[in-house]
Structure 1
Amino acid sequence: MMYAGRGLVMALVAAVVCGSARAESLTFAPLPMESPETVVKQVKPMLAHLEKTTGIDIRIDYSSDYAEILQKFADGKLDLAYLGPLPYLTLRDRVAQATPLVHFKEKSGSATYTCAIVAPADAKPDLSRLKKHKVALTQPLSTCGFLSTDGLLRQAGSRLDDNLYRYLDKHDEVALAVTRGEFELGGLKTAIGRKYAHMGLAVIAESGPLPGFALVANAKTVSKERMDQLRDALVAAEGDTIKGWGDNIRFGAVAAFDGDYDGLRRLRRQANIPETGNF
């Protein structure tokens, strides 16, 4: 009986330990801006640092588009997500517990970034009279997709609705489609567009500063203590710790707050973003 009792105690302890281990495992969704292989390679070193610093196991859950990430987050299947400003605002509308932890800095050291319209370097499109041009976009929920591209065209005197636009999903696919001559212009993140300058791609219009891409936590599934640990670990990371991280997250981070998005909220209220292209 003594041994049976001891076995029961050990089984209960094991169950508690296993339950604790599960509670300390978080699921992270990267943003599908580039190919899955590229994205996973970029985020793994950062996640390894967070695991080492906090003692939390972090699993990657890759989704093919923004909408899938937001649905999983709303369903409580994601604890952390790497999101641009527009996906975050869309998520926040659905999940009030979506909490931005940090903004990742750009290479310049700024915690903001810009979107751009790109075209072949030898083309000189007149954005003030743009009509019937083929325009490549990322995704409906991409900040640098319809929202920013239409905004830039309206500033110049045109609009996307007077042109032919199609969603191609990823930023690098937009850049490549323009370099191949399949589209005359494209809308994407400026930093990604400039990576294709050697292939003849040029930035012809650029937006004002937008809140940097953020690590967003699900306060429904992640405690405040854990969120504070994750935020502190990323803000404190520097030097050799971050030099091997991906291009979009290797320049440091600053604390993020929901109020950082108020300017973009006002812009989004004026926009009617279509779910599909018009050709």
Structure 2
Amino acid sequence: MKTKYVILWMLIGSVSPLACADTLTLGIVPQQSAKKLARLWTPITGYLSEKAGVKITFSTARDIPTFEKRLLAGEYDIAYMNPYHFTVFNQKPGYQALAKQKDKVIKGIVVVAEDSPIQSLQELDGTSLAFPSPAAFAASVLPRAKMTQDGINFSPKYVSSHDSVYLTVSKGLFPAGGGVMRTFNNTDPKVREGLRVLWTTPGYTPHAIATHPDLNEETRLRIQQALLSMNTDPQGQKLLKTINFKGIEVASNADWDDVRALNIKLLQHLLD
């Protein structure tokens, strides 16, 4: 559509400035089902669209490896990604930190069935364990590293999402599995009540909200301000509560140096 016609339609009120803006995609790491993520994040993208004055739409992927490929290809304008993902995709294609959950460290957990006799990680020796994906930072990388360090032999089975881990463990298909407290608290209460946390990892800088390097600085700042406005706006506070966020704060690339210090190489092949 030619620019003069867009301007004319805006002047006569047929089209709002927001409707004429380019649409940006917010890609959410698929820790949970696409249906659940859409239910939680679509209202948030609507809020951010209104506050930032640019249309933002929800997007995800069928599984974490697909999400990783899309990040590498730069398919998301804005992305909510795990801490290790940020250290990788900050290098290539160059996603830039925008914000993160306020006053939060991410901790991985290993869960077992509520009535399981297992009381320690050592008792998982020789078993098959459920994890979301190889590069799921707190839910997979950290617990696997701990068990390997402790000489615990196990076979990892990747079941595509945190919710799948919780469901399969609750059904007795695996004796234990990895997750994080936020998704554990957000999973189906009927499933959660059938589980207990066996072990918790140390804490690290949480997930990053980052923007594609091609996104202009003015738009970046408007989105950042929209995110920060959620801390004090009643509607924003309500939306944050739905994803178990206490608040949002400004982030810089260096905030994830604690994760970089772990020198994880799982996705190094994507950068070579």
Distance 1:52 1:31 in 2: 23
Number of equivalent positions: 255
CA distance in 1, matches of 2:121, 2:39: 37
1:188 is matched with which residue? 179
Amino acid at match of 2:220: M
SS at match of 1:169: coil
Aligned to 2:105: 112
Preserved CA contact (<8 Å) 2:6 2:20: no
CA drift of 1:23 comes to 5.6
Identity of aligned residues (%): 20
Partner of 1:100: 97
Deviation at 1:66, TM superposition (A): 2.8
Gaps of 5+ in 1: 1-9
TM-score by length of 2: 0.82
Query: 2: distance between equivalents of 1:175 and 1:208?
Result: 21
Q: Which residue of 2 aligns with 1:5?
A: none
Q: How does 1:127-276 map to 2 (within 5 A)?
A: 127-128=121-122, 130-154=124-148, 157-159=150-152, 162-194=153-185, 198-220=192-214, 222-238=215-231, 239-242=233-236, 243-245=238-240, 247-248=242-243, 250-269=245-264
For residues 168 and 195 of structure 2, what CA distance do their matches in structure 1 show?
A: 11
**Cα distance per residue 1:169-201 (max 9 Å; x no partner):** 100110111111110110111233355675331
Q: Partners in 2 of 1:30 and 1:62 — Cα distance?
A: 5
Q: 1:14 to 1:171 in 2, by over 3 A?
A: same
Question: Are the equivalent residues in 1 in contact too, given 2:205–2:258 (CA < 8 A)?
Answer: no
Amino acid across the alignment from 2:250:
A
Across the aligned residues of Structure 1 and Structure 2, the Cα RMSD in angstroms comes to 2.8
1:73 aligns with 2:71: yes
The 1-side partners of 2:104 and 2:96 are apart by 17
Offset of residue 15 of structure 1: 6.6
Q: Closer, same or farther in 2 for the Cα pair 1:149/1:274, shift >3 Å?
A: farther
1:18-97 mapped onto 2 (5 Å cutoff)? 24-96=22-94
- C-alpha distance in 2 between matches for 1:76 and 1:179: 36
Change (3 A) 1:12 1:201: closer
SS in 2 for 1:38: helix
Comparing 68-77 with 198-207, greater Cα deviation is found at: 68-77
Residue segments in structure 2 that go unaligned for 5+ positions in a row:
10-16
Tell me how far 1:202 sits from its aligned partner: 1.1
Give distance in 1, aligned partners of 2:205 and 2:132.
18
Partner residue, 2:13: none
Per the alignment, in what secondary structure is the counterpart of residue 246 of structure 2?
Answer: coil
Q: Distance in 2 between matches of 1:241 and 1:139?
A: 34
Distance 1:150 1:208, change over 3 A: same
Q: Name the CA distance, whole Å, in 1 between partners of 2:123 and 2:244.
A: 37
Cα distance in structure 1, aligned partners of 2:53 and 2:239: 20
* Counterpart residue type for residue 170 of structure 1: S
Distance 1:231 1:150, change over 3 A: same
Q: Deviations over 1:81-122 (max 9, x none)?
A: 1111122222223212x01111024xxxx2222111111233
For residues 17 and 59 of structure 1, the distance between their equivalents in structure 2, rounded to whole angstroms, comes to 26
Distance 1:198 1:54 in 2: 36
Residue type matched to 1:103 in 2?
A: K
* C-alpha distance in structure 1 between counterparts of 2:240 and 2:168, whole Å: 27
> What amino acid maps onto 2:118 in structure 1?
K
